[in-house]
Structure 1
Amino acid sequence: MNVWNRTFIAIGCHSRRFASQAPAYGHLPSSQSPFTPKLKFFNSVNSDGSKIPTYRVLDGIGIPLEGAELPKIDEELARKLYEKMLLLPTIDTLMNNVQRQGKISFYMTSHGEEATIIGSAMALAPDDEVLGQYREMGVLLWRGFSVDAAMAQCFGNEEDAATKGRQMPVHFGSPKHHFHTISSTLATQIPQAAGVGYAIKRDPKRRGKNCAAVFFGEGAASEGDFHAGMLLASTIPSPTLFIARNNGFAISTPSSEQYYGDGIAARGAGYGIDTIRVDGNDILAVIGAISEARRRCVEGGRGVLVEAMTYRVGHHSTSDDSFAYRPRQEVEDRKNVDNPIVRFRLFMENRGWWSKEEDEATKERLKQEIMTTFKRVERLKRHELKQLFEDVYGGDEPWNLAEQREELSRLLRKYGADWKPWRQELDRFRGEGKEMIDK
C-alpha cells in the first residue's frame, strides 16, 4: 500500500470517528444550515401556490383596509402630495406633445406611476442621494427643482445650468438636490448607487444619517448590473435602498417574460437583505414602505429592496408605440380601475380634505402655469455650440477634445451652409464663437 492510499484511509477513518461524535443535526461551517434527512426542494413560490404578499393601505376607491396603519400625514401634507401627483401628468402631457411637434428630440412620461415616484420622494430625506433611471422627475420636483429648470433641461437652453444642453431630454441632474445625473445606459446606476452608499458609510458626517436610493424598472433588474449592486450592498455592505418600479413592461417585453420567479422581490432573500413588495399605485402604502425601508437601510448600513407594483399607462417613450404590443383597451381599463391619482383623491375627499371644485380649479391652474412656463422657456437661446467642449475637464483642454473640436469645425465649414439645422448655430458662431469656425 503506497503512502497516498494510507493517507486517504486515515482521513476517512478520522472523518467517520468525527461524524460519530457529532450531533445528529449539525451545520456546515460556511452556511450555518442544519442537516436534514428529508429531500425537499424550495422555490420563491410556496408549495401551496402562495406568493410574496403586496403591502397595501388603501383599496381601489381610497378607503383604508381593515387593520391598515396609515402613515402620519395631515391635510396640508396630503394636499401637497396630491398637487405634485397632478403636476407630473400635466407636464408630461404638454412635453409629450411638444416632442411630437419637433421642438425637443425625446421625452418619457410617468403616467400611471405618480404614486410610486412622489410617495418615494416624500419618504426619503431631502439630502439622501438619488440615482434615477428616467421617470423620476417627480423626485426633483418634490425637492424644489422648478418646472422652469425641468423644461430648460429638455430644451437644452441657456437656463440648463447643470447639463448645459449636453444631455438628452429628461436626463436630469442636480448636485444641489442630491440627484445624480441620469444615464441612458440601462442599469448602470444600480452598482453606482451601491458605491455611493458605501461612500456615505465611510463619511462620519453622513454615516447613520443618509442612504443612496436607486430607482430602476423590472427590465433593468435583468441586467448583470442589478446583481452586482445587490451583492455589493449586501456583503460590503452599504446603505443602499433599491426601488424597483415593476410597471409591467420593459419597453415591449412584458414582465412575464422578464423572469420566472416571483417578481423582483424574490431576489432580495437570495442576497440576505430586507425586502418588501408594495402596491405602487397606493401612495400611502408607498410612503409607509419606503419610510420603513429607509430606516432599516440607514440604521443597519445594509441594502434594502422595495418592489413597487404599478402599471405604465403611457408609452415607454416618444420612440415607442405601446399599442403595437398591448391592447388599447387594457390601457384604458388601467386608467379607470387602478388610477393612483384618483385613489388618493377619493381618500382625501372622504376625509373632507378635498372637493371636486378644488380639483377642477387646481388642474386648470396647473395647466395655465405650465403653459406660461413653456411659452417663456421655448424662446430662450440654446447654449453656444462651442460649450460642448468646455467645462468637461478641469484645467487645460485635453488632446482628444481638441481633435473633436477641430473635426466639428471642419464639418461646419464644409456642410454648415447647406445643412439647415446648423444655420442658426452658424449665425451664432459668427459672433463670439467665430474663431472656432475660422480655425
Structure 2
Amino acid sequence: MIRLPSVSRGIVRRWATRGLTTAAGNLPNSKSPIVSKPKFINSVTGSDELIPTFRVLDGVGKPIEGAEVPEIDEKLAHKLYENMQLLPTLDNVLYNVQRQGKISFYMTSHGEEATIIGSAAALAPDDEVLGQYREMGVLLWRGFGIDNIMAQCFGNEADTSGKGRQMPVHFGSTEHHFHTISSPLATQIPQAAGVGYALKRTPGRGSRSIAACYFGEGAASEGDFHAGLLLASTVPSPTLFIARNNGFAISTPSTEQYYGDGIAARGPGYGIDTVRVDGNDVLAVLAAVREARRRCLEQGRAVLVEAMSYRVGHHSTSDDSFAYRPRSEVEDRKRVDNPIARFRLFMESQGWWNNEAEEDLKARLKADVMKSFKKAESLKRCELKELFTDVYGGEEPWNLKEQREELTGLLRKYGEVWEPWRTELARFKNNGQDLLKR
C-alpha cells in the first residue's frame, strides 16, 4: 500500500520555494507559468508567451494567491480522498499479483491520482467515457466496485467487462457509460468525436451529456489524435479531450516527443477551447474540467484539457522505467509532489481529516482490496464456449463456427491426454466440457 511522503512540512515548504508549488513558479520540465485562474485559449498569435498552468493548491495544501477553491464540501472531499487512496492500494496489490504470475499484465496510476479522480468527479455519471488505460479511477468513482476490477484483471467468470477475453485493465461497462478500452494507441480519440456527435443528435442527451476522452501525451503523437480533433471541430460535438501529460510515453520523455508548447498548443489550431491545468492538484483539475464540460454543453463544441503530471510508476509491468530515467528523480517526485499528500494537507487545514481517520481509511481499503483479491483468485474462468459469444450481432458468421469446430476437435484429441491442456482446461468452468458436449 502506498504511503504518504515521510517528510516534514518544513521539507515540503522548502520545495515550494524551488518553484514547483508557488504561484510564480514553474512546473518541472516546463517553463509554463502558474496562474490562479483557468485560462482558456482559442487563438494562435505571434506572441512568445507560453501557455499558463492553472493551479489552486500549493505543495502544502494552501490555496495560492488569487485562487478560488471550487465548490466542495466535506462529504465530496472525503470521497475524492478515499478514491485517490484506493487507486494506489489496488495498484500495489495488482502489480505484485502480476509479478507472482497470477495475472498477465497490469498498469498503475501512481502519480496521476489527482488527474483521474478530479476529472471523474467533474463529469456527470452518464457522460460517455472513452479511456486509454489509466482511467480505472473513473469507474471506481462511478461505483463499478473493487470486485469488478479484480474480476476483469483475473478474467474470471465474474468479469462483466468481457468474460475474460480482454487483457487486464481493459475495462468496460455499459451501466457506467464507460466504453471498453482497446490496446491500440489513440483509437479512442476519433471514436470519441463520433460519440460526442451521436450524443448531440440524440433527443434528451444532447443538452446534458458529453463524450470524455482520455489519452496520454504519447498518444497525441498518433495520427488518430489529429483526426479526432479535426472531426470534433469541423463537425462540432460536445467532446472533452483530456490529455494526461505525465512526462513519458512508455520510454520516451516528453522533451523528445514534441518541440512545441505541450499538447495544449495544438488545440487552438483546430479552433478548440483549450486549458492547461496542474494535474497533481485535484481541486484545480476538478475546477478546470467542470468549466470545460460546461463549455462543451453550452457551445456544443469540443474542449481540450491538458493535465500536467508525472508518472512515478513504471509504464506497465512490461517496463523498467529506471532504464531511461534516474531512480533518484522518481523518488524525489514521490516525496515532494505527491498529489494525495497535497490534498490531505488541504483537508487537514479545513478540519476534515486527521491521523486517526488516515489510519482507519488505509486499513479499511487494504482489507477490502485483499478480500476482493482472494475472491477473484478462487473463481474459475467462464465456460470455454463463451469465447465465441457476444462477438457479432445477428446470425453467427461461418468463420466463427469454423473456429469453434476446430477448437472442439483439438480438445477431443489432446484435452484428456496432454498435461498442459488438462491443466489449462481445469481453470475453466466445466473444464471445457461445454464444447465437447456439442
Give TM class, smaller chain. 0.7 to 0.9
1:36-55 CA distance string (max 9 Å, x none): xxxxxx988943xx311000
CA displacement at 1:405 relative to structure 2:
1.4
Verify the 8 A CA contact 1:429 1:437 in the aligned structure 2. Answer: no
Paired residue secondary structure (1:175):
coil
Map 1:325-344 onto structure 2 (within 5 A): 325-344=324-343
Letter of the aligned partner of 1:400 in structure 2?
N
Paired residue secondary structure (1:308):
strand
The CA distance in 2 between the partners of 1:321 and 1:384, in whole Å, is 36
1:77-128 CA distance string (max 9 Å, x none): 1011101000000000000000111111111100000000000000000000
The CA distance in 1 between the partners of 2:54 and 2:86, in whole Å, is 26
**Match of residue 382 from structure 2:** 383
CA displacement at 1:390 relative to structure 2:
1.6
Letter of the aligned partner of 1:86 in structure 2?
Q
The CA distance in 1 between the partners of 2:365 and 2:163, in whole Å, is 27
CA displacement at 1:438 relative to structure 2:
7.2
CA displacement at 1:418 relative to structure 2:
6.6
The CA distance in 2 between the partners of 1:418 and 1:114, in whole Å, is 49
**Match of residue 319 from structure 2:** 320
Letter of the aligned partner of 2:234 in structure 1?
T
The CA distance in 1 between the partners of 2:279 and 2:434, in whole Å, is 54
Paired residue secondary structure (1:378):
helix
Verify the 8 A CA contact 1:52 1:277 in the aligned structure 2. Answer: yes
Gaps of 5+ in 1: 1-41
The answer to which of 122-131 and 400-409 deviates more is 400-409
CA displacement at 1:251 relative to structure 2:
0.2
CA displacement at 1:264 relative to structure 2:
0.2
Paired residue secondary structure (1:215):
strand
Is 2:118 the counterpart of 1:112? no
Verify the 8 A CA contact 2:243 2:263 in the aligned structure 1. Answer: yes
The answer to which of 63-72 and 425-434 deviates more is 425-434
Verify the 8 A CA contact 1:45 1:262 in the aligned structure 2. Answer: no
CA displacement at 1:430 relative to structure 2:
10
Letter of the aligned partner of 2:354 in structure 1?
S
The CA distance in 1 between the partners of 2:202 and 2:313, in whole Å, is 40
Verify the 8 A CA contact 1:385 1:425 in the aligned structure 2. Answer: no
The CA distance in 2 between the partners of 1:292 and 1:428, in whole Å, is 48
Letter of the aligned partner of 2:343 in structure 1?
F
Is 2:397 the counterpart of 1:398? yes
The CA distance in 2 between the partners of 1:346 and 1:193, in whole Å, is 36
Paired residue secondary structure (2:364):
helix
The CA distance in 1 between the partners of 2:318 and 2:435, in whole Å, is 34
Paired residue secondary structure (1:52):
coil
The CA distance in 1 between the partners of 2:431 and 2:179, in whole Å, is 32
1:353-393 CA distance string (max 9 Å, x none): 10122112211111111111111121011111221012222
**Match of residue 235 from structure 1:** 234
The CA distance in 2 between the partners of 1:44 and 1:416, in whole Å, is 68
Cα 1:430–1:250 shift into 2, 3 Å: closer
The CA distance in 1 between the partners of 2:312 and 2:152, in whole Å, is 24
Verify the 8 A CA contact 2:425 2:431 in the aligned structure 1. Answer: no
Letter of the aligned partner of 1:70 in structure 2?
V
User: How many equivalent residue pairs?
Assistant: 396
**Match of residue 291 from structure 1:** 290
Map 1:343-358 onto structure 2 (within 5 A): 343-358=342-357
Cα 1:385–1:334 shift into 2, 3 Å: same
Verify the 8 A CA contact 2:240 2:296 in the aligned structure 1. Answer: yes
Map 1:26-425 onto structure 2 (within 5 A): 46-47=47-48, 50-416=49-415, 420-425=419-424
CA displacement at 1:395 relative to structure 2:
3.6
Letter of the aligned partner of 2:104 in structure 1?
S
CA displacement at 1:158 relative to structure 2:
1.1
Verify the 8 A CA contact 1:44 1:262 in the aligned structure 2. Answer: no
Verify the 8 A CA contact 1:265 1:306 in the aligned structure 2. Answer: yes
Map 1:420-435 onto structure 2 (within 5 A): 420-427=419-426, 433-434=432-433
Paired residue secondary structure (2:133):
coil
Cα 1:43–1:101 shift into 2, 3 Å: same
TM-score by length of 2: 0.87
Verify the 8 A CA contact 1:58 1:285 in the aligned structure 2. Answer: yes
Cα 1:346–1:421 shift into 2, 3 Å: farther
**Match of residue 38 from structure 2:** none
CA displacement at 1:420 relative to structure 2:
4.8
The CA distance in 1 between the partners of 2:254 and 2:46, in whole Å, is 17
Verify the 8 A CA contact 2:192 2:211 in the aligned structure 1. Answer: yes
Aligned alpha-carbon RMSD (Å):
1.9
CA displacement at 1:422 relative to structure 2:
2.9
The CA distance in 2 between the partners of 1:429 and 1:294, in whole Å, is 44
1:193-236 CA distance string (max 9 Å, x none): 00000000111211121100000000000001000110011111
Cα 1:179–1:434 shift into 2, 3 Å: same
Verify the 8 A CA contact 2:110 2:313 in the aligned structure 1. Answer: yes
Paired residue secondary structure (1:117):
helix
Paired residue secondary structure (2:244):
strand
Letter of the aligned partner of 1:148 in structure 2?
D
Verify the 8 A CA contact 1:201 1:301 in the aligned structure 2. Answer: yes
CA displacement at 1:436 relative to structure 2:
3.0
Letter of the aligned partner of 2:325 in structure 1?
R
**Match of residue 18 from structure 2:** none
CA displacement at 1:396 relative to structure 2:
3.2
The CA distance in 1 between the partners of 2:116 and 2:285, in whole Å, is 9
The answer to which of 311-320 and 407-416 deviates more is 407-416
User: Identity of counterpart residues, as a percentage?
Assistant: 75
Paired residue secondary structure (2:304):
strand
Verify the 8 A CA contact 1:191 1:229 in the aligned structure 2. Answer: yes
Verify the 8 A CA contact 1:133 1:183 in the aligned structure 2. Answer: yes
Gaps of 5+ in 2: 1-42
The CA distance in 2 between the partners of 1:397 and 1:313, in whole Å, is 46
Verify the 8 A CA contact 2:160 2:173 in the aligned structure 1. Answer: no
CA displacement at 1:416 relative to structure 2:
4.0
The CA distance in 2 between the partners of 1:196 and 1:344, in whole Å, is 33
Cα 1:430–1:150 shift into 2, 3 Å: closer
